[in-house]
Structure 1
Amino acid sequence: MIVFRYLSREVLVTLSAVSAVLLVITMSGRFVKFLAQAASGQLDPGSLFLIMGFRLPGFLQLILPLGLFLGILLAYGRLYLESEMTVLSATGMSQQRLLGMTMVPALLVALLVAWISLSLAPKGALQFQLLLNQQDAMTEFDTLVPGRFQELNDGSRVTYTEQLSDDRANLGGVFISEKRFGVNKKDRGISVLVAEKGRQEVQKDGNRFLILENGYRYDGSPGMADYRAIKYDTYGVMLPKPEISEEVTDRDAMTTSSLFGNPELKAVAELQWRLSLPLLVFIVTLMAVPLSRVNPRQGRFLKLLPAILLYMAYLTMLISARGSLEKGNLSPALGMWWVHGLFLAIGLGLLYWEPLRLKLASRRTVKEMARG
C-alpha cells in the first residue's frame, strides 16, 4: 500500500504539472486568436474570458490523456534513473503489477475525461456557439471603438468615428466606406459617407436607423473621374435588424443523449469520438508503463521523443478515422475501434517484449553453458 501511494502520488503530481503547462500553452494560442478577432471588431472584448471558459472543457479532454502519458514517462523515468525501480523489482515488483497500480490513477483520469467529453464539453461548446450567434447578431455600434477603423462584412464596409457616447447612441466625426456590388458596371464602386455627427435610433418595432447630420456622400469607382458628391443636412439609413439564432449546428455542441440512436454518420462519429477519449486513457497508460523503462546510463529522456511520436500517431489515426467515418468511407461497426485495437496490441507487445527477450536470452545462455 505504501508503494502504491508513492507511485500514484508521483504520477498524479507530474500529471498535474504537465497538464497545467500544456493548458497554458494551448489557451494562450487560442486567446491570442480571439484577441485578434476582438481587435478587429468581430468579437466583444468583454466576452473574451467567458469564451475561454466555455472552451476550457474542450481543451482538457485532449490535454489530460497526454498529460497522464507524459506524467507516467517522466515520473517512472526518474525512478528508473535513480534505481528506485530496480529496488522495487528486486522485491518482486513486476511490470504487470506496476501496470495494475498505475491503472488506478488512470481510472480516475478516465472517469474525469469521460465526464468532460460526455457532458461538460458539449455544454461548453453549446454555450460557445450561442455566444458566437449573439456576437454575429450585434450591430457595428455594439463593437465600435472610437478612433479606430473597423472592418465589417468581410471588409466590404469600413466604419470610423472619432467620438462615441457611453450609451453607444451618438457618434462624432463619422466616416463610412462601403463597396457596392451590382450587375452593371455603373452600379459597382464605392460609397463614402462623412458626417459631423450621427446617432442611432431604435423604433418600437425593433428597426434600427443610423441618422447622420451635416455631411457628404461620395459615389464612384476607383480610377474613374465621374464621382458624385452630395451634401446633406440629414441622412438616414436603415440598419440590418439583428437576429439571434438558437439553432445548434456544431456537432460538438450536441448532447450525448441525442447522439445515441442517431443514424447520421456525423452523429455516429461524434459519439464514437467522445467514447474514445476515456478509452484512450487506458491504452496510453498500457503503452507508457513499458516505455518509461530506461537504463540509468541512457537518461530519462531517451524514449520520450519516440513515445510522443507514438502518441501523436495514435491521436492522428483517431482523427483520421473520425473523418473517414463522417464521409462514409468506414462502416459504423468498424469506426474508430480498429485504431484502439491496433494500439492495444502495440501496448501489449511493449509490455511483454522485454520479459520475453530476457527469457529467450537466458535460455540461450543456458544452452551455451550446457554446450561448453
Structure 2
Amino acid sequence: MIVFRYLSRELLLTLSAVSAVLLVIIMSGRFIKYLAQAAQGALDPGVLFMIMGFRIPGFLQLILPLGLFLAILLAYGRLYLDSEMTVLSATGMSQQRLLAYTLGPATLIALLVAWLSLGLAPQGVAQVARILNEQDALTEFDTLVPGRFQSMKDGTRVTYVQELSSDRAELGGIFISDKRLSKDSGKERGITVLVAEKGRQEIQADGSRYLILENGFRYDGNPGKADYRAIQYDTYGMLLQRPEVSTDIGEREAIPTRELWGSDDQRHVAELQWRLSIPLLVFVVTLMAVPLARVNPRQGRFLKLLPAILLYMAYLSLLIAMRGALDKGKLPISVGLWWVHGIFLMIGLLLIYWEPLRLKWASRRAVREMAHA
C-alpha cells in the first residue's frame, strides 16, 4: 500500500499541474474569441465569465485524459531516470503490477470524466446556449459601451457614444459611421456619417427597435472625393440591428444523456457513443502510457514523449473522424466507435507484453546457442 500511495500521489500531483496548464491555454484561446465578440458589440461583457465557467466541464472532459497520459509519462519517466523503478523492480514490481497500481488513480479520473461527459458538460453547453440566445435578442443599443468605438455589422458600422444613462434609455454625443455596400457585388459604394447631440431608443408595436437621434447632421459621400452631402436634422430614426453571435456549440451537445439512450437517430447515437468513449479513453491511454514511460536513464525522460503524444493524437483524431463518419451515416451503428478503442487496446497490450516476450525469446535463443556450442 505504501508503494501504491506513493505512485498515486506522484501521478495526481503531476496530473493536476499538467491539466491546469492545459486548461489555462485552452480557456485563454476561447476567452479571446468571446472577448473579440464583446469588443465588437455582439456580446455583453458581463456574461463572458459566466460563459467560460459553463464551458469548463466541456474543456476538462478532454483535458483530463490527456493530462493523465502526460502525467504517467512524466512521473514514471522521472522514477526510471532516478533509478527508483529499478529498485521497485528488484523488489518484485513487474509491468503488470505497475499497471494495476496505475489503474487505481486512472479509475478515479475515469469516473470524474464520466460525470463530466455524461452530466455536467451537456448542462454547461445548455446554459451557454441559453445565454447566447439571450444575447441574440439584444440590439446594438444594448451592447454599447460609452467612450468606446465599437465595430458592428461585420465591420461596416462603427458606433461611438460619449454618454449613456444607467437604464440605457438616453445617449449623448453620438457618432455613427456606416458603409454603404452594393447589394449585387457587395462592394463599398460610399459612407454615411451620423452625428447627434443626443438620442433615445424607441420600440414599435411590432417589436422592432429604432434609435431616434436629435439635433445632428448626416454626411453622405465617398472618402477622398469632395462630393459630400450634408443634411441637418432635428429628428432622425435608425433601425437597430441585432448583433450576430457566432458559436461552435451544437444542439446535440446540450441534449441530456438520458434522452440519448434508446434513440434511433443516427446523430444521437453518435453523440452518445462519443460521450461514452471519453471515459473509456482514460483506461486505454493508461494501458499505453505505462510501458511508454519506461526509459533508460542514459536516454532521458523525454525520449519517448514525442512518439507517445503522436500516438495519443492519432487515437483522438481517429475517434473524432469516426464520430463524424457515424454522424453522417457513413459508419454502421453496430460498428460505431468501439473498434477504434479495440485497435489501441491491442496496441497497449502489445506494448505491455512486448518487453517480457522479447526477453523470453532472447533467453531461449541464448540457451539454444549454448546447447549447440
What TM-score results when the alignment is normalised by the length of structure 2? 0.90
- SS at the partner of 1:168? coil
Tell me, yes or no, if the aligned pair for 1:283 and 1:340 is still in contact at 8 Å: yes
Residue in 2 aligned with 1:143? 143
Residue in 1 aligned with 2:113? 113
Which residue type is aligned with residue 270 of structure 1?
E
- C-alpha change, 1:6 and 1:163, in structure 2 (3 Å) is same
Give me the whole-angstrom Cα distance separating, in 2, the residues matched to 1:249 and 1:355.
Answer: 47
Tell me, yes or no, if the aligned pair for 1:137 and 1:243 is still in contact at 8 Å: no
1:37 aligns with 2:37: yes
* 1:285-313 deviation line (CA, Å, top 9, x unaligned): 00011111111111111111111111011
* More displaced stretch, 346-355 vs 35-44: 35-44
Residue in 2 aligned with 1:71? 71
Give me the whole-angstrom Cα distance separating, in 1, the residues matched to 2:225 and 2:330.
Answer: 54
Tell me, yes or no, if the aligned pair for 1:106 and 1:285 is still in contact at 8 Å: yes
Give the CA RMSD over aligned residues: 2.6
- SS at the partner of 2:367? helix
Which residue type is aligned with residue 115 of structure 1?
W
Residue in 2 aligned with 1:212? 213
Give me the whole-angstrom Cα distance separating, in 1, the residues matched to 2:153 and 2:101.
Answer: 57
- C-alpha change, 1:278 and 1:195, in structure 2 (3 Å) is same
Give me the whole-angstrom Cα distance separating, in 1, the residues matched to 2:183 and 2:69.
Answer: 59
**Structure 1 unaligned regions, length at least 5:** none
Residue in 1 aligned with 2:13? 13
Deviation for aligned residue 1:223: 8.0
Tell me, yes or no, if the aligned pair for 1:195 and 1:213 is still in contact at 8 Å: yes
1:3 aligns with 2:3: yes
- C-alpha change, 1:142 and 1:347, in structure 2 (3 Å) is same
- SS at the partner of 1:160? strand
Deviation for aligned residue 1:148: 2.7
What TM-score results when the alignment is normalised by the length of structure 1? 0.91
1:160 aligns with 2:160: yes
Give me the whole-angstrom Cα distance separating, in 1, the residues matched to 2:334 and 2:199.
Answer: 62
1:278 aligns with 2:275: no
* 1:157-206 deviation line (CA, Å, top 9, x unaligned): 33222222232222222222334567699xx7544322122122347885
- C-alpha change, 1:243 and 1:3, in structure 2 (3 Å) is closer
Which residue type is aligned with residue 342 of structure 1?
I
Written as runs of structure 1 = structure 2, the 5 A alignment for 1:228-307 is 228-239=229-240, 250-307=251-308
Deviation for aligned residue 1:351: 0.5
Give me the whole-angstrom Cα distance separating, in 1, the residues matched to 2:242 and 2:97.
Answer: 66
Percent of residue pairs bearing the same amino acid type: 73
Paired residues in the alignment total: 368
**Structure 2 unaligned regions, length at least 5:** none
- C-alpha change, 1:177 and 1:343, in structure 2 (3 Å) is same
Tell me, yes or no, if the aligned pair for 2:140 and 2:243 is still in contact at 8 Å: no
Deviation for aligned residue 1:264: 2.7
- C-alpha change, 1:45 and 1:322, in structure 2 (3 Å) is same
Give me the whole-angstrom Cα distance separating, in 1, the residues matched to 2:286 and 2:183.
Answer: 62
